[in-house]
Structure 1
């Protein structure tokens, strides 16, 4: 691939992302279901690309872009750092503690039971399918397109060459399920009194529908200038830091593999290096000249292009080949996320259970943005404190995710599948036990129970 191929690939991707945004802004049906612009663009490119009408001059490398972009995204997650308020945690331990265990359970239920279904059902019905197949559902649903690309790439290196396409399909179905399913549950929730901050499903702002912010007073800032632009552009400063972490993660993977033969995912190492840089910057004062909003915007941009390339590069022939086992896996995945929302969500969240559970539903089927959009609909002013508790619990749940994303491919494909599955079954059971022991179990309360602040 030449530099010109790289330029044209991203130029065409940009064209279709712009078209996707215009469609989102003008087509009511698309607005109604909150389909992201990058996803619209990806589907158009899939139809017009070499898997469809074959009229787009994409290079043969578009399938490799997601695996590279995810390194940058994970570097941004690490460099974004973390914050933890012990005082707030102690004063609101019941709400935050139960929500933390619920978030961990929402991940563990996919990490444990999707691979278990793959081992006990799919691999029995289809012996040619390996034990890593089931985890691709979790990588797509709980992880989204970025994680699906990372896990798929890791499995491909271990011999499961179709993993990325299957993971991307799971991620695409997951996001669509998150959007359509979330709106479906919101309609039911408003009718049955589960929602506490809106009375009608029609409460949706025009900005959320179209994706275009018309009123200037509603337009937020993309970040602060922390370095003088006459010396170095602030965006270049932040991008340079992220690329350093990304490149270092890639190089570290090669060094570790050559030295001891351990093939760790590059995105994991980029995350760890980004975290180390964050801690170093906090000690040396460099962190004062970093703006997390700019870091987040760069990461978000990479995510949009990753979604586009992830969908556009799906090999339809692979999906057709795995159609029946993939359909079974996706149906089982839907059972898991509905169970997480309606049973465990009601049991493990006391006040405002629906709003908090719906947010978890959103990022358990795709990305944080879907959860945020759904929460904006049912709780536009964050009265349920869901976002506050997510920020507080985030650093504590990250290790459970990172271990799964980094270790699942090798463990599931190299004979340690039962160790991995049992580990997350234990974590799943521990979350339930924790809530029962501390009496954070409210399953017997009515679903139309009071809002959070009313307890």
Structure 2
């Protein structure tokens, strides 16, 4: 594949992202569902590809019909399919860059209930998924046992994590799992937003909301279209911490991200070396850490770089807002590329597994929100819990969208508690170390060791939430 082909593929992906934004601005269902332009862009690319437009052309005119492979060439799809595995490292490296570590006591008191709730949701997704695959999908449909991790990978991890694990799925002999995980992530995002808005309306009507007294239909039209009203502009994208004649601030922040990824790569190589001379040595060795992807360790690398900067950088060169813009840029490209290059044939081949796991994941999250959130979170449970539901089904951005709808004027501690909880939660679930280790553990040892560990975390989350955090009385 030539450099010109790669460059042209990137240009066309950028055009798709604009098309996705245009659809969001002009198509009412997309506005009502708050669908990100990146998902819409990926969907348009998928529709124009060989699995939809191409399949339709072949159905009508045969294999040699015009547009039998769609209007997107395979070389372009091949390029797009490689992008998520690279960009997910950028996304995770930026998660903790620019985030100072808060006081532990405040984190414990404010985010503890939501951490217990989040761990119960995340670990429970493994428990439910493994049971379904081990007892139903494996014996009766021949689905690999590693599919038991698909709910957490797709729902908690989202498109980035799902696509980032593509190489791991392939190395462990379940290449179809990568497409299933991306498809599961799409189900999670859409379900998270749809059911989240339904739950918000339900909460308003039933008096569960502490701040809303009317339907979410009052959301401004500009917000539904994903625009910033002209009277509210300009909204700064970040702060200029250095003068552009010395170095462009964007370039400097890219350097910070690169250092974080390199630290993560160093940790990964060190882990692989330790494994190669211990339990992984010899013909009968077990490869566990060698199959761990880079991106969760890039997040640890970001934490290391941040701590070094906190200690030695007296000029505060790193700006968190600018880091978020880079993260968002990488995530938009990642999501659009992952969905556009998704194989619908793989999902069709495993449709029963895909449907059963998706329905089970949605039911688990909604059921736990309705039953556990008011028992775990002493005050403002609705506003705080709705963010966790969005995040546990459709990544952090979905959680933030639902919290913005449920608490538009930031009158509750929902945002602060959610942010603190994510700092502790994300290094492990949703693309963290547990997510990275889940597939190698199931591959090497079967599903039951991971099932036992996740069941223990569910019990721990339930116990701490019901008998400790749920009984606390906070003024926050």
Q: Structure 1: how far apart are the matches of 2:316 and 2:8?
A: 37
What pairs with 1:33-432 in structure 2 (closer than 5 Å)?
Answer: 33-53=33-53, 54-57=70-73, 58-86=76-104, 88-89=106-107, 93=109, 95-126=110-141, 128-201=142-215, 202-217=217-232, 219-247=234-262, 249-250=264-265, 253=268, 257=272, 260-261=275-276, 262-263=289-290, 264-285=292-313, 288-401=316-429, 402-432=432-462
| CA distance, structure 2, for counterparts of residue 152 and residue 425 of structure 1 | 26
Q: Would the alpha carbon gap of residues 81 and 318 (structure 1) be closer, same or farther in structure 2, given more than 3 Å must change?
A: same
- Kept in 2, the 8 Å contact 1:278–1:287? The answer is no
Counterpart CA distance in 2 for 1:306 and 1:121 is 33
**What is the CA deviation profile of residues 278-328 of structure 1, one whole-angstrom value per residue up to 9, with x for unaligned ones?**
111212116710011111111111111111011101111101100111111
Query: Partners in 2 of 1:159 and 1:251 — Cα distance?
Result: 26
Query: Could you tell me how far 1:441 is from its partner in structure 2?
Result: 5.4
In structure 2, distance between residues paired with 1:280 and 1:313: 39
Aligned residues: 442
Give the superposition deviation at 1:120. 2.2
The TM-score with structure 1 as length reference comes to: 0.91
Question: Structure 2 stretches of 5 or more lacking a match?
Answer: 54-69, 277-288
Instruction: Give, in whole Å, the separation in 1 of the partners of 2:2 and 2:273.
Output: 28
1:399-445 per-residue CA deviation (whole Å, 9 max, x = no partner) reads 43223112101001112421111111111111111133326159xxx
Question: Which segments of 5 or more consecutive residues in structure 1 lack a partner in the other structure?
Answer: 443-450
Question: Pairwise CA RMSD of aligned residues?
Answer: 2.3
Cα deviations across residues 198-218 of structure 1 (Å, max 9, x unaligned)?
222222123320111123435
In the aligned structure 1, how far is the partner of 2:357 from the partner of 2:232?
45
Counterpart residue number, 1:7 = 7
> Equivalents in 2 of 1:408, 1:247: separation in Å?
23
CA distance in 1, matches of 2:404, 2:161: 25
Distance of 2:268 and 2:204 partners within structure 1: 50
Task: Say whether the 8 Å CA contact 1:203–1:377 is kept in structure 2.
Answer: no
- Structure 2 SS opposite 1:163: helix
- Cα drift, residue 452 of structure 1: 8.4
1:16-66 CA distance string (max 9 Å, x none)? 111111111122222111111111111100011232331023242321211
Quickly say closer, same or farther: Cα 1:325–1:415, change in 2 above 3 A: same
Using the alignment, how far apart are the partners of 1:399 and 1:388 within structure 2? 18
CA distance in 2 between partners of 1:98 and 1:255 (Å): 35
1:6 Cα shift?
A: 2.0
**Is the 8 Å Cα contact of residues 5 and 59 (structure 1) preserved in structure 2?**
no
Are the equivalent residues in 1 in contact too, given 2:112–2:469 (CA < 8 A)?
no
Alignment TM-score, normalising by the size of structure 2 = 0.87
CA contact (8 A) 2:77 2:341 kept: no
